[in-house]
Every structure is written in structure tokens, then in C-alpha cells.
Structure 1
Amino acid sequence: MPADINVDVLVIGMGPTGLGAAKRLNQIGGPSWLIVDSSDKAGGLAGTDTTPEGFLYDVGGHVIFSHYKYFDDCLDEALPKDDDWFVHERVSYVRYKGLWVPYPFQNNISMLPKEDQVRCMDGLIDAALEHRVANTKPKDFDEWILRMQGPGLADIFMRPYNYKVWAVPTTKMQCQWLGERVAAPDVKTVTKNIILNKVAGNWGPNATFRFPARDGTGGIWIAVADTLPNEKKRFGKQGTVTKVDAENKTVTMADGTTIGYGKLVNTMAVDHLVEKMGNQELVTLSKGLYYSTTHVIGVGIRGERPERIGDKCWLYFPEDNCPFYRATIFSNYSPYNQPQKEAKLPTLYLANGDKAASSEAKEGPYWSIMLEVSQSTMKPVDVDNLLKDCIQGLINTEMLKPEDEIVSTYHRAFDHGYPTPTLEREGVLKELLPKLQDLGIYSRGRFGSWRYEVGNQDHSFMLGVEAVDHITSGAVELTLNYPDFVNGRQNGEKRLAQAFSYGAQPLPTRERN
């Protein structure tokens, strides 16, 4: 039976990857295309929710930094005005033994108590001496930590923190994903900083980042989607895929519509995709992929932002006095991430759980904290008490005072939160993704291609762009296949030059100050 609709390229999912694919298809012209999403708006795992009280929370800690000019140009086209954005210098710390240690922790052990400094330096020196003569690659993430940083830093920070993030032990993770994501300490610099009692400066690709003035991170992707033709976008029931028939190249939607395609760019989780295909071989293969669930907790507080919070951006918590691994002072990113001062809200309760003295709605000002908690089969979570435990954790870490007035709370669990780079991951992906591609299916994105090292918003967007360029002109998919290349900061303009060498045209871009 013929399909109701036929297109050359069907794109599933309107998160950054799907929108990257659609943006590229719309730009180059030629192939007919359609993009679908089961939600009622664009954004996917880069979306933003708004509470009834008017507090905004992203799906985890998202900020915009980029390895690609093409990505920048697309965002500037969608949000072209200077006042569409705020630009921030990262102010980030690790909470340890009641101290705020500047990020990255491993470069700032000069801030630790003396006994911990000695413990860390012993390990760093031994690691440096052993690493110098090592002639084999580390077998897992844990061995990488020991080789690069030694047992002191491993036990104090790296092992407990990474378990809180990934919800699996470091011994069960491979280390090829690391790249620019984990700072390898320079022993000489660390030693100088200890002797001189100095703090190391900013490190990493997100030392400076930008954030949308309004509507949170999700607002970016809604704006990008708005640059695409309405007739080529389907949301909700019309955009919900219930079955993928790879043999006949048709997709069935929740409203009963069938869509025929020549090529399929899939951005839903690849384990969900193969279930909808009903391909038992691929379903079995996909079971070798592991992931963790992310709980996003939001707390809206009445009052001026306290001095103890200051201009902090995001904060890391390796200790067990709180369930969250990261806290973001979301109100610091934009004054529009929370209700304006004149908005009147009642106090729900005090941070210590006590009833408020009055139930009367009062004016602000307001500020907010966004927390992230991981969960997996190896790291269970008391979901029913998680909000209460997180608020107690905020008191334990001196982020909140017991008497602070809480006016809004938020809790949402995202089943697929982190695609875990387990030891088995590459073996699965090297078999699964080519098998899908042989069927005309390009599975890309944070969970579509399951590579965390290219799972940021810029990477995800370009995975979609490059999939389309491969489909239409045979171009190499650099982001998927060469993560180390695209993540090398010196390679940014090389990446751009190579992209344009096979016919990509830059979008109009506004002049930057």
C-alpha cells in the first residue's frame, strides 16, 4: 500500500540534531523533506520548562559554547539582536569539606587542607613518574584517573564525583571519550600554586559562554525551528512515530498517517528506534548500550540573591551530604529565568520544612537553583523523597539557610539523561550504526549515535548537518567519526574550511562586536 506522504528525507526529532538536519536540508534545497516531533514544541533534551509560578528550568545544565562557525551563524540568524543574549564568564566551584574549591578541582588543590594537599601531591608525583614510562593505554576510566592524577585525587574527588554523575563506577567506563572534558593537571603548575598559595585560572571550552535572555535554552531551538517552513514540521500526534518499516521505508505515525522516505535521519534514542523497527537482532545488539536517568530539580526562593551565592554559575558536589552532583544558579543566567520582583507569590514552606508564618502572597525579588541527580540500575534513588532530600542537601552545603522561603519547586525525570561511555559502547556502535545505515537510516544525536563526547548542543546540531551533507554529497561526517578532531580548539576553522570545501554555504551572519 502506498504511503500517505512521500519525502526524500524524513527527520525524526526536533532537538538540536534534527533541527540541524532540517536547517541544512532547507538551505541546500533539492531533496524533499519533513521533520516530526512527538512534543508540541521544538527543543528535545535542550528544551525548557516553566513552572506555574514563572520559574524557568532547562533539561539540565545547558550553556552555549561552540566549535563551529556554522552553528554560531544559525543561532545568530534565529536570535539576531544583541539583547537576545547574555555573555557570561564561568564562575564555577567544587564543594569539598565546607570549602568552595575553584574548578577544575585537580588544578586547585592549593585550596585544600594541608593533609589533603600532601595526599594529592604524593599521588600526582607518582602518577607523573609512572606515566612517563607507561607503554600501554589505560584499560578504563579508573586507570586513566590513576595514571593522570594518582590515588589521592582519585579518592577525594574523581571517583566519587564521577559516580554521582554517571551512576556507574569509573571501572566500568572507557576513557576514549575524555578529550577536552577532563583537565589533566600539570604537576609543576600545581606545585607552584601550592607553594605560592595561588589559584589556577579558567580552563576548558566553556570558560566563556552565552545564554539566551528569554525563554531559556529551549527558546533557542524554538527560534531555530521558526526559521523553517511550517508546512514541513509536524508536532504532537502527527509527529509521534509508532512504527518504522525499514524494508519498505515507511514510518507510521500515531494519527495513522504513513510517511514514505528515501533516507531517514533519526534522532530518537537508538534503542527506542530499533524497538519500533521490530528488528530483534538490532534490539539485542542495542541492549549493550547503557544510560542513566537524570532528575532535574528546581527550587525558587524569595529574597535578594545572597552574598554567599554571588555570581556563581554552576557548582559540583562530590560528597555524600547531598544527592545532587551539580547545582546551577539558574537565576544568574538571565533576569527573566524567574518571576519579576513585583510578582506576588505565597511561601510554600521554609527550607527546613517548617510552615511559613503567613500564607499571604508577597512580592519578590526571587532567585533560583537547578539541581541534577543521576539514577541507574547501579545507583538507585529514593524518588518519592528526592525533592525533600535535595533541599536538605542545599542546607547541608550552605547553599540555602533553614529559614529561606521556598515559593516554587520543580521535579522532572528524563529517562535517557546521559549516554554512558561504557567499556562495551564502541563495540556496539561500530556494529549497530553501520547496520542501520545499510538500511538507509542515519541515527544521530546525543542518544541517536550515543557518543557523549560529541553530545553538546553544537555537536548535536552539526551531527544533523553533516548527516545531510553525507546523504546529499557523500561528505565525511567529521563530528561522528572524528570527535578528537572537532573538539581540538585549534581545529575550529579547519573544520569550517573542510565543510565549505564540499559546497556548504555560510548563512548570513550579523557583525560581532
Structure 2
Amino acid sequence: MEEVGVLVVGAGPTGLGAATRLNQLGYEDWMLIDKFDEPGGLACTDVTPEGFLYDMGGHVIFSHYQYFDELIDAAIGVGDAYWNTMQRVSYVWIKDRWVAYPFQNNISALPKEDQITCLEGLVDAKVRVATAQDKPKHFDEWILRVMGEGIANIFMRPYNYKVWAVPTPDMQCAWLGERVATVNVSKAIANVLNNKEEGNWGPNAIFRFPKEGGTGAIWKGVAKLLPKDKQQYGPNMEVTGIDKDAQVATLKDGRRIKYKALLSTIPLDIMCTFTGRPELSSNTTDGLFHSSSHIIGLGIRGKCPHGLKCWLYFPEDNCPFYRVTIFSNYAEKNCPESSKKLPTLCMGDGSDVPDNLKGDREGPWWSLMFEVSESEKKFVNQDPVKLGGTAGTWPDVVRDTIMGAINTKLTTADCEIVSIYHRRLFYGYPTPSVGRNSVLEEALPHLRKHNIWNRGRFGSWKYEVANQDHSCMLGVEAVDNILSGAREMTLEYPDIVNKKKNTELLYLKKGAV
């Protein structure tokens, strides 16, 4: 049996953050394992045969931590030669028009009757908040109190159902923090009267993105900063069992690794089952509910017709996706070089390619990345469907996405699709369900008693601290807790770390490299 001081399971942002901290502090008795062939986890980037890049969702870099900034700069490089710094240009497609994000601050762009409905709801909500005697019991009640019935019905309820794949009453509201913009009623009324657009809300109004390699390049770069002999990758590295009392992890190939401390990014529901608490793992809104994500990409011939738009929101039922990233706008190398010759697979509506458009031809190219959620409460059709031309057979959700792109004016029936991508992530979003906190209050201490620090997007199941910077720091801070008993600020105090770059919490005395 192998023995190690700290066994790190999972080479996504959390595991790599943990390994970085162990290496930085000079603690040598550690090992990092991952069942995939390369690092990145849910922050990886795939490349299609045609040369189009797709992240596993709309990842961008904005940070609450100097430590994180220093680490990714060490991994990628410093400055404009390595990073694109961009202003978010984000809109909601609704009522057959673009409405600036956040929707609730820009109802002036809606038809007059909808403006009136939204304003009436806002006024009612202001009265409701003033007379409320207790906190809202769930997300839906929060929406009504803050925004009113109009915005709830037109945007918030349908959009959030498409994102989370559960109705809003099934979600708590303690997670919100900086994630959802509230409404200034006076300003909303003034914006309607003055027909004014208001944007740039939130912490990611300015963001960074690697010039090359997508988000996955960041984490491959972080892994390269670490000793190669302490990292092991591949299907045989999958953990198939945990003996919590003996402190032994069993791998798929039968290897057994005894550890003093286990820093795991294994989804919490699985870890609870491994450690004899399966009753804590039920996928219900009374417990650890999660959705799955379908990532769908289209590579298209021509120049992008949508200007500098970055990511876009779609609350209506004329398309299956809730969010679209114009991924070609993030970095030029997210698409093949314009000189590369590619055949058209099918037309923009999935139909056959006419004879005059057949054959390999040069670009330029642009690309769209779509996200579709799925859960037991939201069905997604995955039956195989044959598309026209040489596009081949794809799950029905891909065809629905192609048609939804036309319905929402993202593409046209006569555009040329040269690349199609689809990947289903079983673990997509850790839902902040109404019953989540009661499970976390029992599950995480249960594991900690057995020297298991379960951390990360699904490891600790806290969406409010599940961005890349949060996830990385969950690993960093867990190591500090393991080695010195330091408090885990990101895990324990999400509201504090999300308020600003709180320099007291940033490890300024000991940088990332």
C-alpha cells in the first residue's frame, strides 16, 4: 500500500490550488491524482477536429484574490501579450429585441405594456419590502419582494428555470450576494422616462481571457508549475472507494493509497456515499440537487454579425439554451486561422449544402457556445437525429439548438456551419436548493472528523463560491487549515470574500510563486 501525507483528488482549480499551496510551503509529502488525462476539471477546453475551441461553459476571469491573480499570471504570462482584457457587452434576447443586462435595470427597452407591468410590480415590491416581518423563505419569494410580479413573470422565473432546471420556489436565496442585481425603483422609473440603458453591473463587468488555449490553458499552465512526479493522470486514477476509518483511497486499478489528510474535489454526494452516509446524497431539492449541462458549439463561416457582444441570455421558450457565448469574440485563436480551408457540414438550419457551396474553402470563422441545463425536473431530448449534408448524427438537443439560434436571430438559415460540438456534463451546476444548507451542515463536519476536506465547485457544493478564483482558493485555504489550522475564509464566509478584494485575506506575505 502506498502512503502519502496529503492526497489531493481532482486536478481542477481546487486541486491545483491545493497542490500549489503545498508546493509553495515546502510540504513535500503530497500527491495529486485525476481520472482525466490532463488537468483542468470543469475548467478545461476542448478542441474540435476543425480547430474550434470550446470551454465547459461561459468561463471568464475576474478575481477577488491577489493570490489567484498572481498564480494565473505565472501560469500564462503577464500583460497584454498573453491576455485579452475585455468589457462585458451582455444582453437579454426577449420580446424579439435585445435588452441590456441586467434586465431588471433596463425595462425601458421593453414594449410599453410590459414596462407598465414591470413598474407596477416594482412599486408593489417596494411596499412589500417595507412591511415584511421576516426574511424570504426561498428564491421565488425574494424575487417578488425585490422586483415584483412583472419582472418575475417576464424574466426572472423563466430564465432561472432554464438555468437551474428547477422552479424558483425550490431554491434558497442565501446564495445570491453579488450574483443577482437588485433594483433601484427610482432609477428604474427614471430610466423608463428617459429611455436610458444601464449596464456594466457586477464584478465581471471587466474580465480577462487567455489569448490562446481557452480557459483550459490556465490550468494546464498551473500544473506545469508543479513537480511532474507528484501528479498522476488517467482513467486508472479514478477513486472508487474511501475507507474513512483506515484513511485509505482505493483506485480503479486496485491501487490503495493511505493518507494522513485527503483533500478531495469528488462531488459531495458521492463522497457521502463512499463514507457511509448515503442518506445525505439524495438528488432532491431537499438535499444536494444538481443539474447537468449540455455544451454545444457551432463553428460558422464568415464574420461575426454581433459586434462586440460577449455573452447573451435567453429566457423564452423559442430556444433550449439559457446562455450563449460568442466565443470567437474572446480570443482570435478560439477559431482556426482564416486561411484554413474547411468544408461546410450543413446549412444554418441543418439542411443539405447546395452544390455551389460544397468543397473546402477558406474562412474567416466565428463561433457560438450554447449552454442547456437538464435535470429530473427539466427534460432534454437526446435521441439521435440525422442532420443534413455531412454533419452526421447528433443528439436532438443539438438540432433544437441550431433551430433556436435562428429563432433568436443569432444565425440565419443560409449561414454555413463548418463545425459542430456537443458534450454533456453530468455535474453542471450545484443547485442552491432549499435543503442544501442542512445537508452541508452535517456532511462537511462528518467528513472533516475523518480527515477529509471535501472542497470545490461540487466538493463543497456552494455555488456562491464556485467561480474559478473561489474554487482555487478553496484548495489553497484547505491546505492552510490542514497544515496550520488557519480559517477557511472562502468556505466559511462567502459574503465577506465576495464583497471586494479584501487585502487582509490575500496571503500578501507569501505569493503564489
Match of 2:38 in 1: 41
SS at match of 1:467: helix
Deviations 1:455-476 (A, max 9, x none): 0000000000000001111111
**Pairing of 1:164-179 with structure 2 (within 5 A):** 164-179=162-177
Contact 2:6 2:262 in 1 (8 A): yes
Letter in 2 for 1:416: Y
CA distance in 1 between partners of 2:5 and 2:350 (Å): 57
**Structure 2 CA distance for partners of 1:237 and 1:400, relative to 1, 3 Å:** closer
Match of 1:252 among 243, 250, 253: 250
CA distance in 2 between partners of 1:419 and 1:128 (Å): 31
Match of 1:350 in 2: 347
Deviation at residue 289 of structure 1 after TM alignment: 0.8
Match of 2:443 in 1: 432
CA distance in 2 between partners of 1:174 and 1:363 (Å): 50
CA distance in 2 between partners of 1:486 and 1:386 (Å): 38
**Pairing of 1:345-384 with structure 2 (within 5 A):** 345-358=342-355, 359-384=358-383
Aligned length: 494
Match of 2:388 in 1: none
Match of 1:184 among 182, 185, 188: 182
Deviation at residue 16 of structure 1 after TM alignment: 0.2
Match of 1:285 in 2: 280
Match of 1:415 in 2: 426
**Pairing of 1:45-60 with structure 2 (within 5 A):** 45-60=42-57
**Structure 2 CA distance for partners of 1:191 and 1:494, relative to 1, 3 Å:** farther
Match of 2:220 in 1: 222
SS at match of 2:328: helix
Match of 2:400 among 352, 371, 389: 389
CA distance in 2 between partners of 1:54 and 1:254 (Å): 33
CA distance in 2 between partners of 1:396 and 1:42 (Å): 37
Matched, 1:492 2:497: no
Match of 2:469 in 1: 458
Deviation at residue 252 of structure 1 after TM alignment: 1.8
Letter in 1 for 2:504: K
SS at match of 1:383: coil
Scaled by the length of structure 1, the TM-score of the pair is 0.95
Deviations 1:342-390 (A, max 9, x none): 1111101101222112431111111000000000000001123111100
SS at match of 1:371: strand
SS at match of 1:390: helix
Contact 1:286 1:432 in 2 (8 A): no
**Pairing of 1:294-305 with structure 2 (within 5 A):** 294-305=293-304
Deviation at residue 90 of structure 1 after TM alignment: 0.2
Scaled by the length of structure 2, the TM-score of the pair is 0.95
Match of 2:458 in 1: 447
Matched, 1:405 2:416: yes
Deviation at residue 29 of structure 1 after TM alignment: 1.1
Contact 2:76 2:217 in 1 (8 A): no
Match of 1:323 among 320, 325, 336: 320
Match of 2:479 in 1: 468
Contact 1:87 1:210 in 2 (8 A): yes
Letter in 2 for 1:305: C
Match of 1:274 among 256, 272, 275: 272
Over the aligned positions, Cα root-mean-square deviation in angstroms equals 1.1
Match of 1:335 in 2: 332
Contact 2:272 2:280 in 1 (8 A): no
Match of 1:505 in 2: 510
Contact 1:9 1:31 in 2 (8 A): no
Letter in 1 for 2:281: S
Deviation at residue 74 of structure 1 after TM alignment: 0.5
SS at match of 2:423: strand
**Pairing of 1:115-194 with structure 2 (within 5 A):** 115-194=113-192
Contact 1:109 1:120 in 2 (8 A): yes
CA distance in 2 between partners of 1:237 and 1:411 (Å): 21
CA distance in 1 between partners of 2:263 and 2:22 (Å): 11
CA distance in 1 between partners of 2:472 and 2:349 (Å): 42
Match of 1:100 in 2: 98
Deviation at residue 133 of structure 1 after TM alignment: 2.4
Contact 1:167 1:376 in 2 (8 A): yes
Deviation at residue 270 of structure 1 after TM alignment: 1.4
Deviation at residue 129 of structure 1 after TM alignment: 1.6
CA distance in 2 between partners of 1:200 and 1:30 (Å): 50
Letter in 1 for 2:364: P
Letter in 2 for 1:111: A
SS at match of 1:505: coil
CA distance in 2 between partners of 1:158 and 1:69 (Å): 33
Contact 1:237 1:253 in 2 (8 A): no
Deviation at residue 31 of structure 1 after TM alignment: 5.1
Deviations 1:47-102 (A, max 9, x none): 11000110000001100000000000101111124311111100000001111000
Match of 1:511 in 2: none
Deviations 1:14-71 (A, max 9, x none): 0000001000000001351000000000000001100011000000110000000000
Deviations 1:221-258 (A, max 9, x none): 00000100001000004422122111111112223322
Deviation at residue 201 of structure 1 after TM alignment: 2.9
SS at match of 2:502: helix
CA distance in 1 between partners of 2:77 and 2:416 (Å): 38
CA distance in 1 between partners of 2:23 and 2:202 (Å): 34
CA distance in 2 between partners of 1:430 and 1:140 (Å): 18
In structure 2, stretches of 5+ residues that fail to align are 384-395
